[in-house]
Amino acid sequence: MLDELPVEIKLELLKSHLQLAFVNKQWYRLSNRFYRDCCLSLKPKEYWDRIQDCLCRYVHSLDEERKAARLINAALCGNKETGENDVPYMSDSWQIIYSVLFRNPRFFAMDSASRELNITHDVVTEYYCPMELESGKRYPCNLWCKKATDGGFFGVIRVAIYGQPDGSEPLLVRDLALTLDDWCQDSGAYCLFGGHFQLAKSANSLQIVHMGVSITNAANVVLEAVDTTPYQGNKSWLLFRTQQLEVFNRWEKLLSAERMRWDEKFVNATEDAAKNADFEFVYRFPKDLGACHGLKSVWFPRLQSRET
């Protein structure tokens, strides 16, 4: 009976019941169209033309795991029913595109500078990162740091996110725990939970917020990315780590720079990133440890409903 409904009604049903995408191939293809409509409502055609090449390279890099699913959509792309031109790795992958660009994006391109304080002689490294996000949504702020050696120190970390570039309209200002070095003694990649922030509803579907991170007296530790993925659901985690230093898809890094119009020189896009890694979590409450969700990779975007 569901298959007999008009397309317009099916699309309305998908807004609140995205699990319908797995009823059959017809609904799976319709879900791709749903996410296409979401993406095209957020950005004009000129935007997609500009990032198309970088976007397609990123989606192509995921093909080893998801080629079969992509080809289900590819069979319908570029025909009269959808009214769109066929762009392989783009027309067939709109949920991936929506997730990596808008729902839970990571931002790798950021500027940084270090300075020494005259009185205390502390060395402060400051990072700046503009982030384009959906209005009216609540996001986590996760900081990805790389610790090159076992003897490095995280120092004192402050996270600040503002609605305006002049530092007005604070959305999040938080100092991270001073005990980080007790938990982070080994080298590797670390993800630190920096708090949540809420964007107000706006006439504009997207808005740019301005994030600054200051790290005082760090040794052999650098900030690599800001991540808005809601890891571990509602459980209260402090950080997680892996001994691998490189864990991100290089094409996602380059896409991050392209979408925010940052020069690729700001992105360390290495070829030898680990697609799978063993991540160890540190939780605020011991009871959460027994119910943790295993995390094996950050190579792929987190796919979820548009409203959650």
Q: What digits encode the pLDDT tens for the residues 248-293?
A: 999 999 999 898 887 665 666 666 788 888 899 988 877 777 666 7
* pLDDT at residue 194 in the model: 95
φ/ψ bin of 253: left (φ > 0), alpha (ψ from -120 to 50), beta (otherwise): alpha
What percent of the chain is modeled with pLDDT above 70?
88
76-79: long-range contacts, CB 8 A cutoff, minimum separation 24: 76/29, 76/32
End-to-end CA distance of the chain: 28
Reported as a single tens digit per residue, the pLDDT across 101-126 is 999 999 997 888 888 887 777 899 99
Strands 221-227 and 206-216: unpaired
Residue 60, pLDDT > 90, answer yes
* pLDDT at residue 305 in the model: 47
Give the count of alpha carbons within 13 A of 307, CB side only: 6
Do residues 160 and 211 lie in contact, with contact meaning Cβ atoms separated by under 8 Å? yes
Beta bridge partners, 170, equal 162
What is the crossing angle of helices 63-74 and 25-42, to 10°?
100
Instruction: Measure the CA–CA gap between 233 and 236, rounded to whole angstroms.
Output: 8
Give the pair of three-digit tokens for residue 201.
């509803």
Q: How confident is the model at residue 306 (pLDDT cuts 50, 70, 90)?
A: very low
Where does residue 242 rank: exposed (0-12), middle (13-18), buried (19+ CB within 10 A)?
buried
What percent of the chain is modeled with pLDDT above 90?
52
Comparing CA positions, the residue from 226, 249, 262, 241 lying closest to residue 301 is 249
